[in-house]
Amino acid sequence: MKKNIKVGIVGLGAYIPKKILTNKDLEKMVDTNDEWITTRTGIKERHIAASDEFTSTLAFYAAKEALKNAKIKAEDIELIIVATVTPDMQFPATACLVQELLGAKKAACFDVSAACAGFVYGIVMAQQFISTGCYKNALVIGAEKLSAVTDWKDRNTCVLFGDGAGAAVLSSVDNGGILTSYLGSDGALSELIMVPGGGSKKPASKETVDEGLHSIKMRGNEVFKLAVKIMSDAACKVLKQCELSVDDIDCFIPHQANKRILDAVARKMKVPEEKIFFNVAKYGNMSSAATAVALCEAYQSGRIKPGHIVVLDAFGAGLVWGACVIQWQK
């Protein structure tokens, strides 16, 4: 088996559902206000998928754009990884449903459950398959319909999340590409963020519905403190692995969970604000889709140029985390 083929991102796409839910709209639903949400999270609005749009639908539109930008036909894609914690159903994998929508008959397909770090996990997994020569290319999609697992009566969580999808096509590149990566997890912290019902432990029943166990439960304050440490440690670790420093970063793309978390990470790492890409104000936290959409928007807005050093850095329920350094190919 061939080894160490350079792997880069050769096409990006995103899809955001049309319906916008503003902080003002939320004021009518729970005891909250625009000022609290803005100062505590930096979020102004989020998008909500229509009732006939599912995670696979959002993923499909993002993937179509990424394939078009990569100039690769769906039928030539060899691997599809969908990172999601809101699959259309428990099984089959949402990746298989996306395969069918795209007509990507040749692809092997599976889902990754790594919450907000799912897109970074997916990128690193796809890289392994391509760098060993197993597959020539891969489509990695971060897609979420978090509105389906949001408790719209819980002000502690409902103000935070939104729906969307981002996709990347990975392939071999002549120069640059993914330089290094680091994935980690700590299952001892699994109780901090979860959807407790609907799995094999608490299958759906009248009781689980009555107890509200099918929506996100989160100990936000504890997550906040851990997120700052985990994200800054992970980013510093990948930079060190490829003998780069914070000064070498051209574009830092952290998981868009909360502007305050990102500001604290920036302060801890001493990354200047102008190097960080933010879009949390427009979309809220879209879990695995957040980093994917941010990467796509950073590229499409000209923030990422050939030769640039780009750092992706994410954390989420698990807890899990992941970071990687990409040198954008020339």
Does 110 engage in binding with ligand ACO (CB under 6 A)? no
Instruction: Select from 7-15, 152-160, 243-251, 289-297 the region that touches ligand ACO (CB under 6 A).
Output: 152-160
Does 316 engage in binding with ligand ACO (CB under 6 A)? yes
Distance, first Cα to last Cα, the chain: 27
By C-beta, is 193 or 298 nearer to ligand ACO?
193
Does 196 engage in binding with ligand ACO (CB under 6 A)? no
Least Å from the CB of residue 85 to ligand ACO: 6
SS3 state of residue 102 = helix
Residue partners of 92: CB distance under 8 A and separation at least 6: none
By C-beta, is 137 or 157 nearer to ligand ACO?
157
Which of 94, 171, 232, 287 touches ligand ACO (CB under 6 A)? 287
Which position among 116, 158, 236, 251 bears the catalytic label? 116
Contacts 24+ apart (CB under 8 A), 85-92: 85/113, 85/115, 85/118, 85/144, 85/146, 85/149, 85/195, 85/287, 85/288, 85/317, 86/55, 86/144, 86/145, 86/146, 86/148, 86/149, 86/287, 87/55, 87/111, 88/54, 88/55, 88/56, 90/198, 90/199
Enumerate residues 31-60 that contact ligand ACO by CB under 6 A.
32, 36-37, 40-41
Q: Are 282 and 23 in contact (CB under 8 A)?
A: no
Q: What mask of x and - would describe binding to ligand ACO in positions 217 to 246, judged by CB under 6 A?
A: ---xx-xx--x-------------------
By C-beta, is 152 or 207 nearer to ligand ACO?
152
Active centre residues (catalytic): 116, 255, 285
